[in-house]
Structure 1
């Protein structure tokens, strides 16, 4: 057996020891150590960084609390439907973060889109999965007459306001005297420019001034509902408390997330690339992306944003329309709206606040669990139409589990005063 110098043996032992120590260190790397750049990223995601609500120039009563109270009454009122059994809260249930837990909405008929949360949506310049409305109030109009949702008519809704003393007083306080709709020949109860031939014919029989009168009432109803929805805001979660701990080196707040959740957070802002789209305090960039989601069963692939742009530009209730309170110069988002083939099958990036409690997911509820969503992005399949912008993530099973655990840390009760979450009609 050959003999080696003592110094060589000692050096070899040191190398082995250091190698073992390094291996142990890598395997037990402290997940709580963040670089200065990573801390800046984390801070940008904190709910504490959420700015004040942007002004909605198209809605003069957007921040009027009387309008919000009127809007709350309207939001929960089932009379605003074809059968007096459907309200906005039928699909946007307060106890479920204003979603419904269904694959697709269920109103007058089975819907074709998953019900998105209303929490924090006032921060988005575009509404609906395809962004076909450019304000909360213009969005609120569409379901009221959609045959799959409320299936009512704007004349019907105007008559409800006219006939209800309480509503008429709210309306007068906010918008001036309620128009006299008592002449049923001029203002038939069921009339609207919808796909219903009966409603369409009744609408066309009205003169243009009377149509305008009804449209003003209709838009004011929606502006009040929007004022209510602007109050629906998320609160700080365990994730936000943890970020405070990182920034302030607060050991107690650092305990808000466990080791696996922190490692999931590292994946979120790193290898998993979630932050590319899910950034900012609401964990959404409010933009539109094609991520290769399969179409829903028995449905053609959704054209997404490319169709949404066409619809919003033609919408008479958009920011530049006659029923908007904004000057045309205040509607730059419409003048400079992004167009192009890259928007084919692109859908709006949803907030991840409370995401663990708002399943199922995607624009038509195609994915039932967070695990399925993460697996979808892990594989990044080819898009049915358009181009999938995502790339395969190659996350291990353990990494996918940790990412899922982290997403559960984003849940918290709303910061909204509980009185706004109560149905005033019960």
Structure 2
């Protein structure tokens, strides 16, 4: 049975095991157990990245992650927007590199569990995702040949130990890229196919090393996890880990507020894309979201099926069977995981909502979508899996209070470390 269905039936299971000292029925405890962080398995192997779980690659990737030399102005690194001390994000409405972006910076932790990356899912692996900002004109603003030169100038020994002998680049143009300025594009076109392929391979390998590091970045347990563990163990003292208001909010989260329809599992996300009628940011045009991204991920030379992937085609199931069209994709964005959400304001894909109270007000209002059709809007027919969300202000505040219990530490786990034993 899927979790969403289990959530819907759980409130009707009163009398199946609850007692005066335990506010949860047997069915509700079953739902809670699926949300505990220990139910999250180790990240699945990434067949497209042969060094995904190699400690030396993670060590190199960590250095690359913080290296501002991998940018046009020498001032922007991955850590500029994904600040380790700030939940691996930046606290801004939209990301800011050498210029201002148009979407919110997404957190890095636990992205190894996500089949598609970015708000619109335009990349299908961590390593491919890492490449995008390096060449993006408002993020790092680098060009492919320049990035390869910098990496080999400063990390040649580490690179060779992982990927073998790299190409020699001195006689090639100073800058060249298929995505850069007109001058850089012309320089790229002037290179022989074998030269372009050699540069692309170095570029891809940079992403693979960064991804190996990002696979180690994970969430630590929160008060909510300790509360669930106490509920399942029958530990009355441990159940004091959450306040009465937070427990009310959790019950609403699972039931009346319908949050768990999409925010479920140990990471509190279904990893899917939904249109919930979030308005465009100030002075911005409506964002097509997932609908505009599927063609790009299929055509991406750095996707799982591309020549720089280490995976045989049969191991690229997510990409091969990806939904690539349909009205549901218009204006749809990835469901954010809710771990540490109270520490990551502002919210939504463009930082449109400043607080969690504003987020709750948005869902209760359920406005029509600026593009596509909202799954929540009664005026647009809604979605088969949702009823209109009707909460009092007090109840909305209870849900916000519960969300605060999901905060825990960000940890860097050793490569290949196994998670703790699942709770029962």
Match of 1:264 in 2: 249
**Does residue 242 in structure 1 map to residue 242 in structure 2?**
no
Alpha-carbon distance, 1:30 to partner: 7.4
**Does residue 369 in structure 1 map to residue 355 in structure 2?**
yes
Structure-to-structure mapping, 1:133-148, within 5 angstroms: 133-148=123-138
Asked whether the 8 Å contact 2:21–2:236 carries over to 1, the reply is: no
Alpha-carbon distance, 1:172 to partner: 0.7
Q: Structure 1's 103 and 30: CA in aligned 2 closer, same or farther, altered over 3 A?
A: farther
Superposition TM-score, scaled by structure 2 size? 0.89
Write out the 4+ residue segments of structure 1 that deviate beyond 4 Å after TM superposition. Answer: 29-32
Superposition TM-score, scaled by structure 1 size? 0.89
| Count of aligned residue pairs for this structure pair | 386
How far, CA to CA, are the matches of 1:364 and 1:201 in structure 2? Answer: 34
How far, CA to CA, are the matches of 2:176 and 2:118 in structure 1? Answer: 25
Asked whether the 8 Å contact 2:135–2:180 carries over to 1, the reply is: no
Q: CA RMSD in A?
A: 1.5
User: Could you list the runs of 5+ residues in structure 1 that have no partner in the other structure?
Assistant: 1-28, 419-426
Name which of 163, 171, 188 aligns with 1:175.
Answer: 163
**Does residue 116 in structure 1 map to residue 102 in structure 2?**
no
Asked whether the 8 Å contact 1:379–1:392 carries over to 2, the reply is: no
Higher radius of gyration, 1 or 2: 1
Asked whether the 8 Å contact 1:377–1:392 carries over to 2, the reply is: no
Asked whether the 8 Å contact 2:252–2:258 carries over to 1, the reply is: yes
Asked whether the 8 Å contact 1:162–1:180 carries over to 2, the reply is: no
Match of 2:391 in 1: 395
Match of 2:383 in 1: none
Match of 1:51 in 2: 41
Match of 1:344 in 2: 330
Structure-to-structure mapping, 1:70-219, within 5 angstroms: 70-164=60-154, 167-183=155-171, 187-219=172-204
Q: Structure 1's 31 and 393: CA in aligned 2 closer, same or farther, altered over 3 A?
A: farther
- SS at 2:411 equivalent: coil
Q: Structure 1's 31 and 190: CA in aligned 2 closer, same or farther, altered over 3 A?
A: farther
Alpha-carbon distance, 1:31 to partner: 9.4
How far, CA to CA, are the matches of 2:20 and 2:103 in structure 1? Answer: 43
Alpha-carbon distance, 1:359 to partner: 0.8
User: Could you list the runs of 5+ residues in structure 2 that have no partner in the other structure?
Assistant: 1-18, 377-386, 415-424
Alpha-carbon distance, 1:198 to partner: 1.6
How far, CA to CA, are the matches of 2:183 and 2:251 in structure 1? Answer: 57
- SS at 1:233 equivalent: strand
Asked whether the 8 Å contact 2:289–2:329 carries over to 1, the reply is: yes
